[in-house]
Amino acid sequence: MSNKMLEIKNLHAEINGKEILKGIDLTVNEGEVHAIMGPNGSGKSTLAAVITGKPGYEVTKGEILFYGKNLLEMPPEERALAGIFLSFQYPVEIPGVTMMNFLKAAVNAKRKYEGKEEMSAAEFLRFIREKQKLVEMDTNLTNRAVNEGFSGGEKKKNEIFQMAVLEPKLAILDETDSGLDIDALRVVANGVNKLRSPERSFIVITHYQRLLDYIVPDIVHILYKGKIVKTAGKELALELEEKGYGWIKEQF
Amino acid sequence: MKKKVEKFEKGFLTFFNDIKNELQQTTHHLYDDVANEAASAFETGKLQLPHKKMEDYKYSDLKKHLKSDFVFYTAPEKAKVYPKDLFVCDVPDLDAETVMLINGWFHDYDGKKLKTTDEGIVYGSLLYAYENGYKEIIDAYLNKHLNTGSPLVALNNMFAQDGFFVYVPDNVVAQTPIQLINLVSALEEVFVSPHSLIVAGKNSQAKFLLCEHSIFPKYFLNNSVMQIIALENSHIEYVRLQNAHNESYQFTSTYIHQTDNSSVKTNTITLHGGVVRNNIVASIDGKGCYNEMYGLFLVDKGQHVDNWTLIDHKQAESSSKELFKGIIDDYATGAFAGKILVRKDSQHTDAEQTNKNILLTSDAKMYTKPQLEIYADDVVCSHGATVGQMNEDELFYMRQRGISQKTARLMLLNAFAYDVIKDISVEPVKNAVINLVEKRLSGDLTRCDKCEIKC
Amino acid sequence: MAKKDDDILKKVTGSEYEFGFVSNIEEEIFPPGLNEDIIRKISEKKNEPKWMLDFRLKAYRKWKSMEMPQWAHLRIPEIDYQAISYFAAPKKPKYNSLDEVDPEILETFNKLGIPLEEQLVLAGVAVDAIVDSTSVKTTFKETLSNLGIIFCSISEAIQDHPDLVKKYLASVVPVGDNYFAALNSAVFSDGSFVYIPKGVRCPMELSSYFRINAANTGQFERTLIIADEGSYVSYLEGCTAPQRDENQLHAAVVEIIVHKDAEVKYSTVQNWYPGDKDGKGGIFNFVTKRGICEGENSKLTWAQVETGSAITWKYPSTILKGDNSISEFYSVAVTNNHQQADTGTKMIHIGKNTKSHIVSKGISAGYSENSYRGLVKVMKGAENARNYSQCDSLLMGDKCGAHTFPYIEVENKTAVVEHEATTSKVSEDQIFYCNQRGISTEDAVGLIVNGYAKEVIKQLPMEFAVEAQKLLQITLEGSVG
């Protein structure tokens, strides 16, 4: 029996007074890959936002524990340092902040948190190059601002690359497949698969089954109207693909 | 000699009459006409000290700040300051030719009032140059191509002391920047009134750094005028670094005059300054010119920074690009007014103006007034202005990567400011400015951390 | 190209003002001049209660102490306020049916294309037509009154609904707000009054048509619109004036009060006589229009097409007082020949989560001067205020001017205010592209200008949009610079 990593209990959350999550229960153990599927507007991205602490969302009930620690009391950066990584559905462009400075700040924050020394410039460059190779990130990052002028595919690759750099315990992939052509999808999925390990868990949020051909989940949940309405093995994704979301909507 | 003007706002005219003879003698009667003219304009009410009922001073009630007494030096005093000792702080690695004004008068710390660089640039005291071979050039440009009807210019002319004079002869291409230091150093509350002139000859190139500093924590008024004349095909870069303490009043007027195919790039960086009003006017009187006007101000506490600019396209086929950014903290106030004027027949003008501001607290205020006044049809002109705060999505993205909120904010603010600084071509100046801005934003005292004067 | 442009420009500058006819109506006109006696006479003529006379006298005294504003980018010739007549009205002021209306007036309205008779029903427009100073005929009164809507002349409202008038008149534009507003408050002769009761959606567009007919008169109408909680109304005004060599003054005041959850849309097509091609004559249009979004979730939209007047000085403004209130301003201002326009808006954000949106399109041709002047002010308590302004100018010819003077004043850090402006001309590439497809240069300019102004024109009710498009075409046909 592997260790419990993330526990979400009866989570209710709202934005601008509108309740989006209406009682989510979810447990993720070390090494597991969970897929969360659901039609548009079912609350998938909200769940990711609430786990990572995005401002503007209010949790009205329930709790989220990460290795037993109450996540809801922590600011976003502490959650990140604790090991939670979000691959954004829409990575923001940050003009003027170079990728290198950004990565350096992130890596050093993590090292400080872990009680390690900052990396030397040479060490850091070597480290970054290595990770770039690992996830087939061929974009030249020096002198480029964060996500600025990146194509859709490059942005998503950049997210996976940052995941490789920050080596999280739990990675949440929010619609990482949206807007990707098949080649980019393969590169992104390969990157993810290389990072799979018995200690690392994933929550893959997706609308389509397509990504799950590449990143094979252990458990599939269906989120509908703010609740997890169905949980099963990877075959559920295939069933859903076949029957469509109408099938879910009819049932609930 | 130093003299005191009581209640400046009320007493400045009487004071002018008191010191007039003495001052005009020290300044070799260089400004007599303009000074008398300005004085009578104030006397008859044709001119007024700037107050907020005047459209151009709507957001800066300067008169209000001129109620106290000031001391004025009618002639230079022997000072004991050596520029290299003082100014390593701001731009540590700068290899530059340095000249200095102290309390409005030229300070010949090495006994030389006019020097020539290896490359051939003549620089030093305006008064001395006037008496020693440069009368013709000075007569041709001093108080020409500027608005003597501006109350700040008029006030400067009434009390004009010495100033910097730089002459870049035709075809001289200078690599080494010239550093101009306008220093206020007095144990009393002084006001200074330097009037400087830079003339760049045909096909010349030169770079300047003007640093404005104060040494003692006494309030002071610096009402300075800088004229920059860029003749045909000359290329000038000019960085002004304002880093005086918060008890000062900095009123500056910069008049740039450009003729055919010249380019002038200015950066006005305000780190500290109390009450600052910068008037910057570029008159583009030639074809094929390019003017780049950049500005950055970081204000906190009760400071007030107001940049008022005019880019006057008087001829066809020229371009200008203007970018001013402001970060306003605490209960400080920022203001920007920028007019692009495209005169009749200035066809094919390409002018772009941007003003962006970030308010950091709910007590901070920003007033902006971007303006286009266009009288030619075949032009491309645009302006954009924003007032807002830091982007929440960007902040969250960074925090999700484990970067602390404080660091993320700093990184974003630095990035915001960097836009204005990045095109400074003198690396040490650029790096120093980046460094200063970074420290300024992170709350470390930026005022001369290596400097011996702790103010 | 240049030669051809000149020809086209000449042709445009030669285009005649279509509405410049004079109607031969019997009118009663006061002698020129302004003093307290004249004001008493106006008030008496209109049989006004004492409070109204006091209001006027107070305004007059205020006005006497004021000076004409000089800050606009306008050259305004000296105006002799004593040479203007402050009251002119068709002699027979009241009508019980259309048959009683002077046929000349009806003919005037027909020429203007005003659907005063049967067309009214078809077009669904209720019209309050004002010739010079008096309201001639308010149509559809009955249909409206069944819903509790009051739509009448302000003179009638003063008689019949004094409480409403007393409560709201000068509540948005105080008597001494500005020089022209003070003058208007002293001498206004008529105008429209609208009251929409709680929860009522006015089923038709309400409309006023203003016309200055008599010579040497000024027109000073006063409009007051009150939208009570949860109501909706769309109001239109149109203006024309005959062609006369001397300048005429028009100084109107419009006040709009929008209560909680209510919405008002105010559209103007302003086509006062602009003067001839040498700049002789024309209306001086100095207008104060202001609305207040008094209650939560209220909304006020201004849409204006300004093609007429020798000089326009006009800034329809909104005070966003109620939380979550919204205001929009859409404007097309066209100037040609020697016209001058200084127009724009003010958006004053006071309430929380208030939003404003400004779209201004200026088009200048001939020797004209066209300025956008606007203020966006976010007060300290206006959390999360948002404003976006887009102000574009199009120049046609090298003798005109196009200017943009926005003021942005932000005193709250949660505000986001963005302003963008561009100046350009109709590109030769665009014209050529159209030419190549067989479209004449004149038609191409018409197409391009209408496309340029589309964002604003589409805000107008259908009947007005068509008229506005036509007006743009007439004013500018072929003006390629």
Per-residue pLDDT, B132 = 94
Long-range contacts, A129-135 (Cβ 8 Å, 24+): A131/A161, A131/A164, A131/A165, A132/A161, A134/A164, A134/A191, A134/A194, A135/A160, A135/A161, A135/A164, A135/A187, A135/A190, A135/A191, A135/A194
CA distances from C438 to A205, B132, C6, C98 (A): 55, 71, 21, 49
pLDDT tens column, B382-430: 999 999 988 889 999 999 999 999 999 999 999 999 989 998 998 888 8
Q: Say if CB A210 and CB A151 are below 8 A apart.
A: no
Per-residue pLDDT, C357 = 95
pLDDT tens column, C348-386: 999 999 999 999 999 888 888 899 999 999 999 999 999
Contact B403 A106 (CB under 8 A): yes
A-B C-beta contacts closer than 8 Å:
79
Please list the residues that pair with B205 across neighbouring strands.
B173, B235
Q: What is the DSSP string of C329-343?
A: EEEEEEE-TT-EEEE
Q: What is the DSSP string of C263-331?
A: EEEEEEEE------TTS-SEEEEEEEEEEEE-STT-EEEEEEEE---SEEEE--EEEE-STT-EEEEEE
- Find, among A211, A132, A202, the residue nearest to A170 by Cα: A202
**Out of B369, B370, B377, closest to residue C397 by CB:** B377
Q: Name the band, by pLDDT with cuts 50, 70 and 90, for residue C120.
A: very low
How long, in residues, is chain C?
Answer: 481
Residue B270 has pLDDT above 50, yes or no: yes
Q: Name the band, by pLDDT with cuts 50, 70 and 90, for residue B446.
A: very low
* Average model confidence (pLDDT) across chain B: 90
**Chain C environment of B413 (Cβ under 8 Å):** none
Q: Say if CB C247 and CB C216 are below 8 A apart.
A: no
**Out of C380, C404, C409, closest to residue B372 by CB:** C404
Sheet with strand A201-206: strands edge to edge? A84-87, A170-174, A201-206, A33-37, A219-224, A227-232
On whether residue C479 sits in a domain, the answer given is: no
**Out of B379, B381, B384, closest to residue C419 by CB:** B384
Per-residue pLDDT, C339 = 87
C54 Cβ contact list (under 8 Å, min separation 6):
none
**Out of A53, A80, A97, closest to residue B412 by CB:** A97
What is the mean predicted confidence (pLDDT) over C72-98?
70
Q: Select from C393, C394, C409 the residue whose CB has the most chain B CBs within 10 Å, as the one to mutate to test that interface.
A: C409
Please list the residues that pair with C233 across neighbouring strands.
C264
B172 Cβ contact list (under 8 Å, min separation 6):
B119, B120, B121, B201, B204, B205, B206
Q: Say if CB A19 and CB A59 are below 8 A apart.
A: no
CA–CA min distance B299, chain C (Å): 14
Residue B89 has pLDDT above 70, yes or no: no
* Average model confidence (pLDDT) across chain A: 90
B227 vs C159, which has greater pLDDT? Answer: B227
A144 vs B357, which has greater pLDDT? Answer: B357
Q: Is C36 in a helix, a strand, or coil?
A: helix
- Chains A and C: 3 or more CB pairs within 8 Å of each other: no
ipTM: 0.86
Residue C136 has pLDDT above 50, yes or no: no
Q: Say if CB B122 and CB B137 are below 8 A apart.
A: no
Structural domains of chain C, count:
1
Tokens (6 digits) for B292: 């780049």
Shortest CA distance from A166: residue in chain B: B401
Per-residue pLDDT, B449 = 42
E strands, B314-379, in order: 319-328, 333-342, 350-359, 365-374
pLDDT tens column, A11-25: 999 998 899 999 999
CA–CA min distance B212, chain A (Å): 28
> Which amino acid belongs to residue A110?
K
Q: Select from A97, A103, A116 the residue whose CB has the most chain B CBs within 10 Å, as the one to mutate to test that interface.
A: A97
- Find, among B19, B138, B23, the residue nearest to B76 by Cα: B23
- Find, among B257, B271, B210, the residue nearest to B440 by Cα: B271
How long, in residues, is chain B?
Answer: 455
Please list the residues that pair with B243 across neighbouring strands.
B272
User: What's A42's domain CATH number?
Assistant: 3.40.50.300
Per-residue pLDDT, C245 = 62
Per-residue pLDDT, B454 = 35
Q: Name the band, by pLDDT with cuts 50, 70 and 90, for residue C476.
A: low
Q: Which domain holds residue A231?
A: 4-251
Per-residue pLDDT, C100 = 56
Q: Say if CB B165 and CB B123 are below 8 A apart.
A: yes
> What single DSSP character describes residue A119?
P
Neighbours of chain A (3+ CB pairs under 8 A): B
Per-residue pLDDT, B151 = 96
Q: What are phi and psi of A40, to 5 degrees?
A: -60, 140
Backbone Cα Rg of chain A: 18
Residue C463 has pLDDT above 80, yes or no: no
pLDDT-wise least confident of A92-96, B143-147, C361-365: A92-96
Per-residue pLDDT, B13 = 94
Residue C18 has pLDDT above 50, yes or no: yes
Q: Is C115 in a helix, a strand, or coil?
A: coil
Please list the residues that pair with C424 across neighbouring strands.
C394
Per-residue pLDDT, A170 = 96
Q: Name the band, by pLDDT with cuts 50, 70 and 90, for residue B72.
A: very high
- In which element (H, E) is residue B213 found? strand B205-214
C289 vs C115, which has greater pLDDT? Answer: C289
Q: Is C155 in a helix, a strand, or coil?
A: helix
Structural domains of chain A, count:
1
What is the mean predicted confidence (pLDDT) over A71-80?
92
Residue C7 has pLDDT above 50, yes or no: no
Q: Say if CB B261 and CB B319 are below 8 A apart.
A: no
Residue C24 has pLDDT above 70, yes or no: no
Backbone Cα Rg of chain B: 21
- Find, among C352, C374, C350, the residue nearest to C362 by Cα: C374
E strands, A67-186, in order: 69-70, 84-87, 94-98, 145-146, 170-174
**Out of B397, B405, B407, closest to residue A94 by CB:** B397
B370–C contact, CB cutoff 8 A: yes
Residue C279 has pLDDT above 60, yes or no: yes
Backbone Cα Rg of chain C: 22
**Chain B environment of C415 (Cβ under 8 Å):** 359, 387-388
Contact B397 A88 (CB under 8 A): yes
Contact C406 B377 (CB under 8 A): no
Q: Which domain holds residue C223?
A: 2-474
Residue A162 has pLDDT above 80, yes or no: yes
Separation CA C25–CA C35 (nearest Å): 27
Q: Select from B323, B358, B403, B409 the residue whose CB has the most chain A CBs within 10 Å, as the one to mutate to test that interface.
A: B403
- Find, among B300, B325, B305, B303, the residue nearest to B441 by Cα: B300
Per-residue pLDDT, A1 = 47
pLDDT-wise least confident of B26-30, B33-37, C185-189, C473-477: C473-477
Separation CA B13–CA C213 (nearest Å): 57
Q: What percent of chain B has pLDDT over 70?
A: 94
Q: Select from B341, B374, B378 the residue whose CB has the most chain C CBs within 10 Å, as the one to mutate to test that interface.
A: B374
Q: What percent of chain C has pLDDT over 70?
A: 77
What is the mean predicted confidence (pLDDT) over A220-228?
93
What is the mean predicted confidence (pLDDT) over B100-105?
90
What is the mean predicted confidence (pLDDT) over B172-179?
91
Per-residue pLDDT, C221 = 85
Per-residue pLDDT, C481 = 38
